[in-house]
A and B are shown apart, each in its own frame.
Chain A
Amino acid sequence: MQTSTETVIYNRAGQRVVSPDYLLFEAPRTKHFMTGSEAVKEAVKRASVDASVSYPITPQSEAAHLIGELWVEGYVGVYFRGESEFGVMSEIAGCAMAGARTITTTSGPGTLRAFENFPMWAGTRIPVQLVLMARGVNSPLSIQPDNLEVGFLLDTGCMIWYAENAQDLFDMILAGFVVAEQPDVHVPVITVVDGFFVSHTREAVMLPPDDIALPPYNPYKAPMPVIDAEVPPGRFLRDPFVMKSNYISYATHASWQWEVRSAIERSRPYAKHYLRGLVEEFGDPSAELVFVACGTAAAQSKEAVRLLEEEGIKARVIKLKTIRPFPIEELRQAVKGAKYIFVPEFNVVGWLEREVRRYLYGHSDAEVIGAPRVAGGMTMPAEVIVKEVLKLTGKEVKHVI
């Protein structure tokens, strides 16, 4: 709380600047009923955002419109529509390099059209935030929810966080800037939600007041010099070419790649604090049947735990909030005592199953089952998850059609 001896600071929009901890944990919250897209607007409104560039693609368009409204209202400094996702992610890079706290949104094929930019963002160490409302990418054309594109993004050098619902999304966007902008982190953060399931459905969201906001971004704290011709050191190419064929250039390139990945690792303690842990556990801690999931698959798994309880089967859910960094230790701890690990997913390839297997190899005797898996916009009814479990036990249950 501010006291009379303290100087009250306001951001450019006239909001009172408060600490991230106050905004995220201490400020009184009131209940509002809104879509995921509107939750994005509410987060951006409290984030002292400097710049945003937009391009239409369903289902993220509404969130992008709402950021535009915030620009009109004076909450966002720079806003315009770019020429394509490739153009937008490039413009976003320019905004961030010039010292702006920058956010944009995209979905599905737009993500892939823009793809070349994401490793460039990471390599340039700009703390851009991309809100990804995941959607199908394959032919035949689909605008339906599907999170296959996240599998492509995992190794771009960006942090990947995954929100389960509108509340998660609101809190993660605010925390995302705070963590991404830590000088020892300073890499982009991609905040993912399952498109439509979260972006277009209304739910109760607890919001702090809108006259308080995050402290503005200070580009002079960045580990890479900001491109504004104001502060040394400035004589550099961003980024220097390492194209000469010799061991020094190979080593330079390789060490920079490792540095970007180390930066993601260094985000762990911050993410742990601002997200209240990298995983969330739900259900009976003694259960041998465990669901490992993220996004709405985690929500559906929680529902499945309730159904299974009625059938006398104990189960629990480990929801992953961050995929990059992957909560390795948290997961290994949480699955102790597990016999069966189900990984329900909203994509055809099962990228989360791959990740879970990779990090549990040699650390868990549990059987990992990459199921159920839906794609192309299908929902994942809790009954389908239950059915997968029952296949294992051979038990018939009334909930399953």
Chain B
Amino acid sequence: MSYKIYEINEEFLDVMPQEIKDLQFKATWGNPKRGVMDLPYSKELIEEHSLCAGCPESMALRYILASLPNPEDTIIVNSTGCTSLVFPHIALHTVHSLFGNQNAVASGIKRVLEWRFPDKVKDVVVLAGDGATVDIGLDCTLQSFFRQEKITTICFDNEVYANTGGQESGLTVKGHVFKMAPKGKQWDKVPMWQLAIDSGCHYVARLTVSSPKRVETVIKKAIYVAREVGPTYVHLYTPCILEIGLNSDDGLDEMRQRDKERFAFFEYVSEPAKEVIERKKEEGLL
């Protein structure tokens, strides 16, 4: 890897906004112990990003970006949707190709990087919304688990197609009225965390992003296990406050509510994954 990747061309430095410069000068590269406690002093996502004011997804992104153990050698693959809008506002290698094929693109990238750089650690992380992960992209998502691709899949579950204006998704709660479900959604929320376990993921977690430290631990576990064992899946509740009619400062409360019910913290760890997690704890990395 090369730290130069994250450097702004010197000739452009004087015209770059301070925020963009901060992405370089306040980054925490090269430290596997980095985490959410660095957030007050570091910069992961610029303030003027494209998400709505108070969007819990922006919180989630900041926690995840701060928690990547190996950001300088991490490729993030994302999909069409609200998530994809913020990727121009971070300083990491990211790929957006189409809607729903994120796990397939990530599979290709991971396999080739593993083949081209057998002696280096290159993490590949998929980050997409519920529409991309569980609806249009479910085939690609599950098949990457079946194939035991060594990638981490993170789903931002806001229970709606948010970026297209609020249509019900596979993860919308039954009965909820959204556009394209004018009589209320007719069937239950897809239990994606369970599908992930049944499809071969070695580490699966379901949680909200109301607790930064917990997000950090989950993300680190998921990435370490994916690196050594096989696919891992993290399901994060990031409510679309706009579509469910909340104020921009209500996101955190909404997540704290759901913490106690349908997003109660849940974690699955396979036997080989347990070994990795224990070892990483001993190494002081978890």
Chain A residues near B (Cβ < 8 Å): 50-51, 53, 77-78, 80, 82-84, 86-88, 90-100, 116-117, 120, 124, 227-241, 243
> Measured between alpha carbons, how far is A240 from B96 in the docked complex, in Å?
8
User: Which chain A positions have C-beta within 8 A of B109?
Assistant: 94-95, 97-98, 227
User: Which chain B positions have C-beta within 8 A of A234?
Assistant: 2, 5-6, 93
* Contact yes or no, A97 B6, CB < 8 A: no
B101 to chain A minimum Cβ distance, whole angstroms, is 4
A100-B116, A229-B72, A235-B6 as given contacts; A95 in contact with B95, CB under 8 Å: no
Give residues 89-105 of B contacting A (CB, 8 Å): 91-98, 101, 104-105
Number of A-B contacts (CB under 8 A): 143
User: Which chain A positions have C-beta within 8 A of B75?
Assistant: 98, 227, 229
B286 interface residue (CB < 8 Å to A) = no
* Contact yes or no, A229 B111, CB < 8 A: no
* Contact yes or no, A91 B139, CB < 8 A: no
User: Which chain A positions have C-beta within 8 A of B7?
Assistant: 232
B106 interface residue (CB < 8 Å to A) = yes
* Contact yes or no, A90 B5, CB < 8 A: no
Q: Which of A94, A233, A236 contacts B107 (CB 8 A)?
A: A94
* Contact yes or no, A229 B74, CB < 8 A: yes
The residue in A227, A231, A243 that gathers the most chain B C-beta atoms within 10 A of its C-beta is A227
> Measured between alpha carbons, how far is A41 from B92 in the docked complex, in Å?
38
B178 interface residue (CB < 8 Å to A) = no
* Contact yes or no, A78 B111, CB < 8 A: yes
Q: Which of A84, A87, A98, A238 contacts B112 (CB 8 A)?
A: A98
The residue in A91, A232, A243 that gathers the most chain B C-beta atoms within 10 A of its C-beta is A91
Give residues 1-30 of B contacting A (CB, 8 Å): 1-2, 4-9, 23
How many interface residues does B have (CB within 8 Å)? 45
B127 interface residue (CB < 8 Å to A) = no
Q: Which of B85, B91, B139 contacts A87 (CB 8 A)?
A: B139
> Measured between alpha carbons, how far is A243 from B87 in the docked complex, in Å?
13
* Contact yes or no, B147 A233, CB < 8 A: no
* Contact yes or no, A51 B95, CB < 8 A: no
B240 to chain A minimum Cβ distance, whole angstroms, is 18
> Measured between alpha carbons, how far is A120 from B104 in the docked complex, in Å?
14
User: Which chain A positions have C-beta within 8 A of B92?
Assistant: 235
User: Which chain A positions have C-beta within 8 A of B106?
Assistant: 94
User: Which chain A positions have C-beta within 8 A of B77?
Assistant: 94
User: Which chain B positions have C-beta within 8 A of A92?
Assistant: 108
> Measured between alpha carbons, how far is A235 from B20 in the docked complex, in Å?
11
* Contact yes or no, B104 A83, CB < 8 A: yes
* Contact yes or no, A228 B95, CB < 8 A: no
* Contact yes or no, B101 A99, CB < 8 A: no
Q: Return 6 A-B CB contacts under 8 Å, by A number.
A: A53-B108, A80-B147, A83-B104, A94-B110, A100-B115, A229-B2
User: Which chain B positions have C-beta within 8 A of A124?
Assistant: 97
A228-B117, A229-B73 as given contacts; A235 in contact with B108, CB under 8 Å: no
User: Which chain B positions have C-beta within 8 A of A233?
Assistant: 5, 9
* Contact yes or no, B1 A230, CB < 8 A: yes
> Measured between alpha carbons, how far is A86 from B100 in the docked complex, in Å?
10
> Measured between alpha carbons, how far is A43 from B70 in the docked complex, in Å?
39
> Measured between alpha carbons, how far is A82 from B108 in the docked complex, in Å?
10
* Contact yes or no, A87 B143, CB < 8 A: yes
> Measured between alpha carbons, how far is A317 from B224 in the docked complex, in Å?
62
Q: Which of B74, B85, B112 contacts A94 (CB 8 A)?
A: B112
User: Which chain B positions have C-beta within 8 A of A236?
Assistant: 94
